[in-house]
Amino acid sequence: MKFWKLALAGAAASLALGGAAFAQEAESEASFSFNAGVASDYIFRGVSQTDGPQVFGGVDFSNGPIYAGAWISNVDFGDDTDAEIDLYVGVKPELGPVSFDLAYIYYGYVGEPTGADYAYSEFKVAASVPAGPVTIGTAWYYSPEFFGNTGPALYGEINASYAFNDKWSVGGAVGSQDVDIGGQYTTWNLGVGWAPLDKLALDLRYHDSDLKCGDLCGSKVVLTLKTTLP
């Protein structure tokens, strides 16, 4: 059922960064951070990856605008696949008020059946700009060979968030996924975030799409609890 897992973007991969300044202090220091959490479901662009509860965790390294990391989560595709492991590396330059995020992401799967060809890579180009308490952005992902050897895939979305204060926020996104073997569909989400403590965050989010794939698609409400260290 994982045939619909998306990889967004592409066209913007040739984005000219002429004059872009890297957001970096004169003497930036390397740092590590860790995250872990649980959720009532793992929704990836409108499609459930677990058909039930999720447990996840990750580690991130950063040095100025450069970052890299790894993230792992349980998955349930109805076969022997147990987990998804994401590895990524990227850079976050700035051009005036616009913040960019340019990255390479590899998706691997533990226990996938022989010949399933679930593993794939994608390239990401994202940009966001603040407007007072509102942040508006767009993100694009491109995969030359998508999940399950379904051919090239392109996904693009627009997103926005509004911060009421340092504890409460709302945000959402609308995206369009197009896979060479699989077709096109639209997905959207809207949610509210609450950070009762400095390193603890709760997110309650509604997900939906116009994709038809049984119980894995359609309207879903997901509650996520996440903590970060340090």
What is the DSSP code (8-state) at residue 229?
E
Average pLDDT over residues 157-183: 97
Percent of the chain scored above 90 by pLDDT? 87
Average pLDDT over residues 33-50: 98
Q: What is the pLDDT of residue 79?
A: 96
The whole-angstrom separation of Cα 204 and Cα 228 is: 18
Q: For 202-224, what is each residue's pLDDT tens digit?
A: 999 999 999 999 999 999 999 99
For residue 216 the two structure tokens come to: 């894995």
Structure pTM? 0.88
What is the DSSP code (8-state) at residue 97?
T
For residue 192 the two structure tokens come to: 């509210």
Q: Which residue has the higher pLDDT, 209 or 24?
A: 209
Q: Which residue has the higher pLDDT, 20 or 70?
A: 70
The whole-angstrom separation of Cα 162 and Cα 207 is: 18
For residue 106 the two structure tokens come to: 């590899």
Quote the Cα angle for 96-126-202, to 5°.
Answer: 105
User: What's the chain's average pLDDT?
Assistant: 90
The whole-angstrom separation of Cα 20 and Cα 139 is: 18
The distance in angstroms from the start CA to the end CA of the chain is 36
Average pLDDT over residues 91-97: 98
Q: What is the pLDDT of residue 16?
A: 34
Quote the Cα angle for 57-222-47, to 5°.
Answer: 85
User: For residue 46, what are the contacts with CB-CB under 8 A and spacing of at least 6?
Assistant: 4, 177, 185, 187, 188, 189, 207, 208, 209, 211, 217
User: Would you place residue 176 in the very low, low, confident or very high pLDDT band (cuts 50, 70, 90)?
Assistant: very high
Average pLDDT over residues 153-161: 98
Percent of the chain scored above 70 by pLDDT? 88
User: Would you place residue 172 in the very low, low, confident or very high pLDDT band (cuts 50, 70, 90)?
Assistant: very high
